[in-house]
Chains A and B, each alone.
Chain A
Amino acid sequence: MAVLVHKQSNIIVQGFTGKEGTFHAGQMIEYGTNVVGGVTPGKGGMEHLGKPVFNTVADAVAKANADTSIIFVPPPFAADAIMEAADAGIKVIICITEGIPVQDMVKVRAYIDTKDCRLVGPNCPGVITPGEAKVGIMPGFVFKKGKVGIISKSGTLTYEAADQVVKAGLGITTAIGIGGDPIIGTTTKDAVELLMNDPETEGIIMIGEIGGTMEADAAHWIKAHGTKPVVGFIAGQTAPAGRTMGHAGAIVGGSEDTAEAKMRIMDECGIHVVHSPADIGDTMAKVLSA
């Protein structure tokens, strides 16, 4: 089963003919992902990487049955691209773009809440279901098929966790990079819920970082509804207050934003919290064999 992206997903790339879009779409196609085309306004009718280019997302939906979109559009135009996808009826919208103004995302969130779709990101590495579809910028070879779901705000830390899980002999159902911005589409809790309901996923790895309350919200949900073991890690235990650590959302404002507070809540909610990021894979293996 896995979640969000599958072998049969009909995927389009928004910002298809740009530098980033071209490079990563090429990698996705090489991985075996079912890319059915791309969108670049004004270049409709062309062919790029052997796939059709459309002027609008609506065209791509009508002519190529697109149901999933990945966005590589530059920050000033990315909010517009997300809303265009939502309006055209795309069900899963994955936005890679980093640096979208927060007020744009406030509007986008309100808009997509009125549509029947799911947004992942922005400022995220994307989503991968190993062996089926890579809809993101992650190195595909690190992710091997298996039974653990991964949720993370960070790119390279997701790869790190995936690598440990694979080396522990477990493999991955779907890895979801939710992104490091203050306002994002799919929250930690949303992603946990998806993986809890996926019959193939036997355990979940939840990687958070300082800032916001998403991990605590997810932990409370897990305590009330969880049916599978969850291993959790929060990056930024040594981060000073009031400083943004790379990701726009990674900043300690109040006492609830700290890694310590989040890990305490996660622990109280029955999550297997690891203090070292080196212990993620081994802990999952131990928990699943118990």
Chain B
Amino acid sequence: MNLHEYQGKELLKNFGIAVQEGITAENVEDAMAAYKAVTDRTGNEFAVIKAQIHAGGRGKGGGVKVVKGAEKAREAANDIIGMMLKTPQTPGGMEGPGKLVSTILVAEDAYVPDFDSCKEYYMSILTDRGSKCNVIVYSTEGGMDIEAVAEETPHLVHREFIDPMLGLQGFEARKIAFNLGLSGKAFKECTKFVAKLYKAYVSSDASLFEINPLLHTGNDDFVAVDCKVSLDDNALYRHKDLLEMRDTREEDPTEVEAAAVGLNYVQLDGNVGCMVNGAGLAMATMDIIKLSGGDPANFLDVGGTADAARVEQAFRIILRDDKVKAILINIFGGIVRCDRVAQGVIDAYKNMGNINVPIIVRLQGTNADIAKKMIDESGLNVQSATLLKDAAAAVQKVLG
């Protein structure tokens, strides 16, 4: 689960981490009240208006604006609220439709008054699969795309691997501060920042924290100006407070609906829908569709209990996409009996009345023979197959 910037900042603040402060707004009136409160507190007229969507690169699409004065703040808030913001990370990238901005963060300008003496660093924490531990990634080159920094100047990106049994040690935090070239008060503040950030990461069962830029102010304080926070879905049961931050508006409504009935669904943009039991077999089925000359319209794992009700739900979700020209159902019956799935397909088909696209059902495993006979004798516009090869050939045939 991803958090919005403002939610991530709330999380960080709970662990005593200094952040660029701000107030959220969903309309221009509230934005202006927020602007007044923020600038009254800082004593200067600068503010930053930031679109709150789940995607990075917001500045590139005009979703982040630094403003001076109430007039400019109103203009920026008016522009950003309600816009379809395109960033390299929104669906389809800069060529896609963008994402609707319903909330903005009106934030202080943390670089004022001593802009010239501010420095920007990069710091992230993630769980590394290769080393099987948490790693802190950091660089003096903050405020820009870290992938580009890693590509062009790999020696400027440092990594500190943290022993899972011991957690972050003092010498590790000191090493980070030294590698960032710090001394005196800045050195001390940086080690404190790192320690708090690591504690927040582990305590909230995060899978990614990215602070970019991490601001080193003229006063030698450390401030998280932006933050990207992803949380481990499997651990949300022990973080009810964080679970409440979930914003389903940022998710695909069909995927949310599918999840509610126990289907694991991801929308794609091809012409052949598919319904499969098991994630690995579902991906493999998508590959088969591609090799047969089609493009998968979705990923759909129906899970271990593919009964009539669930098959019908899956049909309805797949058929909502009018690009779908055929549906391939691929079930390997283990504990799931194929004849039950076949009955599910037949019942769902009859309940729904008019399914206008050809359906190919491949059933293998427990009671596959009985299932094939049921499908073949049902009189419905459904082709059956037992071998994966035959299913692939059938897909090729219907696509012509």
> Which residues of A approach B to under 8 Å, CB–CB?
75-76, 99-104, 106-107, 109-111, 137-139, 141-142, 152-160, 163-164, 180, 182-183, 207, 209-213, 233, 235-240, 242-243, 245-250, 259, 275-278
Contacts and interface: CB of A to CB of B under 8 A. Distances in A.
Nearest to B166: A110
B331 to A, nearest CB: 8
B280 A109 contact: no
Contacts of A157: 278, 280-281, 284
A239 B283 contact: yes
Given A245-B279, A246-B299, A238 B287 contact: yes
Interface string B40-60: 000000000000000000000
Contact of A154 (B130, B207, B279, B290): B279
Given A106-B164, A211-B129, 13 more contacts: A102-B235, A103-B205, A154-B281, A157-B280, A160-B281, A212-B129, A236-B286, A236-B287, A238-B287, A245-B279, A246-B278, A247-B280, A277-B284
B284 A160 contact: yes
B365 A163 contact: yes
Given A110-B165, A159-B332, A275-B291, A102 B207 contact: yes
B73 to A, nearest CB: 33
Interface residues of B, number: 55
A139 B89 CA distance: 42
B33 interface: no
Interface stretch (B97-105, B214-222, B385-393): B385-393
A264 to B, nearest CB: 16
A110 B333 CA distance: 36
B296 interface: yes
B337 to A, nearest CB: 10
A110 B284 contact: no
Nearest to A212: B129
14 contacts: A103-B205, A109-B164, A137-B335, A139-B333, A142-B365, A157-B281, A157-B284, A160-B364, A182-B129, A183-B127, A209-B279, A245-B282, A275-B287, A276-B291
Contacts, number: 167
Contacts of A212: 129-130
B287 A213 contact: no
B283 A103 contact: no
Given A101-B234, A137-B334, A246-B299, A238 B281 contact: no
Interface in B368-400: 387-389, 391-392
B268 interface: yes
A213 B130 contact: yes
Contacts of B270: 238
B266 interface: yes
Interface of chain B: mostly helix, strand, loop or mixed: mixed
Contacts of B334: 137-139, 142, 155-156, 159
Given A235-B284, A276-B291, A278-B387, A109 B279 contact: no
A160 B362 CA distance: 12
Given A102-B234, A138-B334, A207 B280 contact: yes
Contacts of A183: 127, 129, 132
Contacts of B299: 239, 245-246
B132 to A, nearest CB: 5
Q: Which 7 A-B pairs have the closest CB atoms?
A: A154-B280, A246-B279, A156-B278, A101-B235, A139-B334, A157-B280, A235-B283
Nearest to A244: B266
Nearest to A217: B130
B39 interface: no
- Interface core residue of A102, A182, A240, A250 (most chain B CB under 10 Å): A102
Contacts of A235: 280-281, 283-284, 287
A105 to B, nearest CB: 8
Contacts of B129: 182-183, 211-213, 249
B1 to A, nearest CB: 11
A138 B332 CA distance: 11
A107 B202 CA distance: 11
A157 B364 CA distance: 12
B388 A277 contact: yes
A243 B266 contact: yes
Nearest to B89: A242
Given A180-B280, A246-B301, A238 B289 contact: yes
A156 B133 contact: no
Nearest to B290: A238
